[in-house]
Each structure stands twice: as structure tokens, then as C-alpha cells.
Structure 1
């Protein structure tokens, strides 16, 4: 059991795993969905998503108001 008040560290790999461990790899996710999967706050998930977007192929799109979805592009060769 962890100590009260102790914060858990989440790596960008933890967030990447959320995307790669799904059956539909191409389905976009919200920061809230990533947070629920990791068991962290939405803000923590959002920070990691921004970090990943700056350093990997992860991309996002605004889908209304303040909502945004995130995904890893699937490269399909013709």
C-alpha cells in the first residue's frame, strides 16, 4: 500500500501503452479516457499527451468547445 500523499509517477511509455493495448488501435481517445485507464488525473494525462505530441507521432484534433481527441496515426500503404 502506498503512503498517503505520495504521488505516482507516470511515464510517456505508460500513456503510449494505453493506445497500443487496445483492440482498435486507430480509435482516438480523450485525455479523460487516458486518465481513467491510467488511474491518474485528467491534468496528468493531458500533460503526458502534450509531451508525447511534441516528441512522437501522437497527434490531436479539437472536436468542439474545449474537447480534443488524441491518436497515433496508422500508416496504411497502398
Structure 2
């Protein structure tokens, strides 16, 4: 019997890979979309996104009552 608890640990690097491997690099994603692509819960994805926002270039914007989208800004040089 396996020990109780989560079997898969998702890292912030896993979340960043979701953003890097998209057809449209500029398209923002919701926490649910990130969760679907990782195969984790929305809450897990949301926690990682909040951590990344405070530590990296990942940015978010509120787009409705409780809706938020996330993206990595594309820099114009």
C-alpha cells in the first residue's frame, strides 16, 4: 500500500513549461487551463501561479468578478 498524500509533486518549473509550450506565446491562460495541461487541481495550479507571480516575470490580470488570466510578458526590444 502506498503512503497517504499526493503521489505527484508539481513544481514551479512545471508551470513555466506550460507557458513555454503553447502555439501562441502571447495568449494568457487561466488557472484551470494550466491545471488541465498539468493534470493537477485548479487550486494547485493557482498556488503555483501566485508563487511564480511574486518570484518571476509571470503576470496576471483580473478579467471579471473572480476570473484572472496569467501570462509571461513578451518584451519588445
Give TM-score scaled by structure 2 length: 0.92
Matched position secondary structure for 1:70:
strand
C-alpha distance after superposition, 1:45-76 (max 9, x if no partner): 00000010010010000000100000000001
Rounded to whole Å, the distance in 1 between the matches of 2:46 and 2:73 is 18
Quick check: 1:62 aligned with 2:31? no
RMSD between aligned residues: 1.2
For structure 2, the residue ranges without an aligned partner over 5 or more in a row are: none
Quick check: 1:25 aligned with 2:25? yes
Counting matched residue pairs gives: 75
Flag as ranges the 4+ runs of structure 1 deviating above 4 A: 3-6
Matched position secondary structure for 1:15:
helix
